[in-house]
Structure 1
Amino acid sequence: MDEVLACENNRVKFFPIMMYAMVMGLSGLTIMYQKAALWLGFSEMIGAVLMVVSTALFVMISLIYLGKYIKYASIVKKEFSHPIRLNFFAAISISMLMLAIIYKEVNVNVSALFWYAGSGLHFYLTMHTISFWINNNQELDHSNPAWFIPVVGNVLVPVGGIGFASQGVLMYFFSCGIFFWVILFAILLNRIIFHHQLAVKFMPTMFILIAPPAVGFLAYYKMYGVVDVFATMLFNLALFFTLLVAFMYKNFVKIKFFISWWAFVFPLAAMAISSMLMYHETKDAVLLALSYVMVGVTTVVISIVIYQTVAHIRKGEICVQE
């Protein structure tokens, strides 16, 4: 019995902040199926079930990580000052913002609770992360697409923020996210092309390159309700990065499982939602086909990721010391 308790304590001790990527992935899938029910005629039951699962997963992970903070505060503080893990703390606020979007048409009060908490936390994490980068020397090898999460994640705030904040406030978050997307992308492209390749466990984060323009397109449409030249550019850039990672599929098929595999899911879901929205606005048959393809691909990928996650949890290979 003592051995079992010791094992469980170690699991909590090494419970990674990256687990919130699971909430991001499932929340993205939930929103995708909510929109598929609206625009493609899918069953509303799929989105409803996924909403419950996403919410339950967020609560469960939050309780476990809170337990870790209470029992191993020094370890959490060490993670919060780690040059790579720091970026994943914003996955908490991103998860809240996505849950706000999920509940927007279901229960506006629950949506508001998640949105205000998520926006406030994300504002703090953006400021803290950039301050950390300025006050501490950063190694180029530390840079990876996960850097987008805390700062470029600001573009997600306007997607669920209509009715909760003024246009000026929403535009503030959108402006910051788009600006840092351009800056950080230049840094990452320099690192990837001219310096050491990404560590194998961070290769799945390449999919995060899809998210900024895809979510930016959704946010811009939410704020202004038009698909103009700028919105079309954002959509096309998201499509380009989707095609790029598809073209590079050999880089991903043989990667050993890491919890970072969940980085595959959210960007694909964002692209699927963007494709459906663009089809809804243009009625282009090619975009309709793309929408079905993206929904199918996202569903298959998350099924594989869930299967691998469960299999590795059963083997005791998750929440172990690295």
Structure 2
Amino acid sequence: MTEQAPASSVQHLGFAWFAMVMGLCGLSLAWARAVPHWGSVALQVSLGLGVLAAGVLTLLLLGQLWRLLRYPAALLADARHPLRHVFVAALPSSLVLLPTVWVVHQGYSLWADGLWMLGAAGLLLATLGVVGRWLQPGLTAQDFWPGITPALFIPVVGNVLPALAGASLGHPVWAAAQYGLAAVLWPVALALVWVRIGMWGLWPQRLLPTTFIMIAPPSVLALSGHALGAPALVVHMLAGVALFFTLLSFTVLKRCLQQPFGMPFWGMSFPLAASAALGLLLSPEPGLAQWLASLWLGVVTGVIGALLLATLRGLMRGQLLQPEGPAPLPKLVSHQAQSVARA
């Protein structure tokens, strides 16, 4: 007799679901960059994606509220989990990105300003929570290294997101301060990710799509830097780094697609959208570069559309909102066992 799969439940609505809002907002901002090239069509697509992102955010917030009231232990477990705790920052990131989309289309508004400040402050707290875990007494390698994945860039480097609309909302100093924090922490997080790969192996297979998150920091640092008045040379340097990580991420795409769809696949969405927006920013004049940037925007739109369809299909079939199995520990365990065996 086959064992019946557990029923899907809001109890398992993890914070990684807010990556949907980030991806949709990022794609909306990318299409807004295409308005000078494609006119009103791009504007309407951008606006529609922004409305969709707002609807998804509303549903997810209601779901998290229900989860807090009915399953508070599950929510707290996510915040304390050595691997999933970094996804908490996807919530304040969404609260920053949605007002950014609003500012692009409608300009300043009081609600956008308030939501932006709430999200920006939330990102600071999320970063403090993640980095503060590293300083806890008694922290062991088995507690530390499982959380070192590209998803670490969401809370650590997410502080660059407020700069996208900070100046337009009247907070250039605040936005610049968080931009500086992201610029300092990005090399630290990147170094930790490389050390983890070299000494303890790659992250779990189901998190392999989050490799694409490595595209986001240089892309958004370039976009936000441009908004804050950074020199063109710095923006182009960061664009080169973003291009490298884009090509590097696609080396794992085949392995990503060899597993069933899950919410970690949405980790691909915002980084790809940010790279598309950056490509359009750097190709203002008609020509080959602009054609390639527009083509890339179309590809990214197709990818995020496929993610939406896969998510709807997974929800209808009850394949999502399921409990996750225990993640395999980093290879430190096997390294220690080999040392003992040799001794």
TM-score, normalised to structure 2, is 0.86
| Aligned ranges 1:202-217 → 2 under 5 Å | 202-217=207-222
Corresponding residue for residue 307 of structure 2 = 305
Corresponding residue for residue 126 of structure 1 = 127
State the SS of the aligned residue for 2:34.
helix
| Cα offset, 1:209, TM superposition | 0.4
Corresponding residue for residue 112 of structure 2 = 111
**What percent identity do the matched residue pairs reach?**
26
State the SS of the aligned residue for 2:134.
helix
Instruction: Specify whether residues 85 and 165 from structure 1 end up closer, same or farther in structure 2 by C-alpha distance, changes over 3 A only.
Output: farther
| Cα offset, 1:221, TM superposition | 0.5
Separation in 1 of the partners of 2:252 and 2:127? Answer: 31
> Which of the residues 158, 167, 170 maps onto 1:153?
158
- Structure 1 window deviating more from structure 2 (37-46 vs 230-239): it is 37-46
1:174-193 Cα shifts (integer Å, max 9, x gaps): 11111111011111112223
Q: Does 1:38 align with 2:36?
A: yes
| Aligned ranges 1:1-322 → 2 under 5 Å | 11-41=9-39, 43=41, 44-105=43-104, 106-109=106-109, 110-135=111-136, 136-137=139-140, 138-224=143-229, 226-227=231-232, 229-280=233-284, 283=285, 285-322=287-324
Separation in 1 of the partners of 2:312 and 2:181? Answer: 37
1:45-100 Cα shifts (integer Å, max 9, x gaps): 21121111110110110001111001111221121111221111110111111111
1:77-124 Cα shifts (integer Å, max 9, x gaps): 121111221111110111111111100031521321221111111111
Output the amino acid matched with 2:307. V
Separation in 2 of the partners of 1:76 and 1:132? Answer: 18
| Cα offset, 1:42, TM superposition | 5.7
| Cα offset, 1:205, TM superposition | 0.4
State the SS of the aligned residue for 2:9.
helix
Separation in 1 of the partners of 2:36 and 2:58? Answer: 27
Instruction: Specify whether residues 319 and 247 from structure 1 end up closer, same or farther in structure 2 by C-alpha distance, changes over 3 A only.
Output: closer
- Structure 1 window deviating more from structure 2 (12-21 vs 202-211): it is 12-21
Contact 1:97 1:114 in 2 (8 A): yes
State the SS of the aligned residue for 2:296.
helix
Rg larger in 1 or in 2? 2
Output the amino acid matched with 2:193. L
Separation in 2 of the partners of 1:24 and 1:310? Answer: 17
| Cα offset, 1:272, TM superposition | 0.4
Separation in 1 of the partners of 2:197 and 2:259? Answer: 18
| Cα offset, 1:284, TM superposition | 7.2
| Cα offset, 1:31, TM superposition | 1.2
Separation in 2 of the partners of 1:302 and 1:24? Answer: 11
CA RMSD, aligned part only? 1.9
Separation in 1 of the partners of 2:27 and 2:234? Answer: 26
TM-score, normalised to structure 1, is 0.91
| Cα offset, 1:40, TM superposition | 3.8
Instruction: Specify whether residues 242 and 61 from structure 1 end up closer, same or farther in structure 2 by C-alpha distance, changes over 3 A only.
Output: same
Output the amino acid matched with 2:236. T
Matched pairs, number? 312
Separation in 2 of the partners of 1:304 and 1:113? Answer: 33
| Cα offset, 1:165, TM superposition | 4.6
Q: Higher helix fraction: Structure 1 or Structure 2?
A: 1
Output the amino acid matched with 1:318. L
- Structure 1 window deviating more from structure 2 (249-258 vs 112-121): it is 249-258
Corresponding residue for residue 3 of structure 1 = none
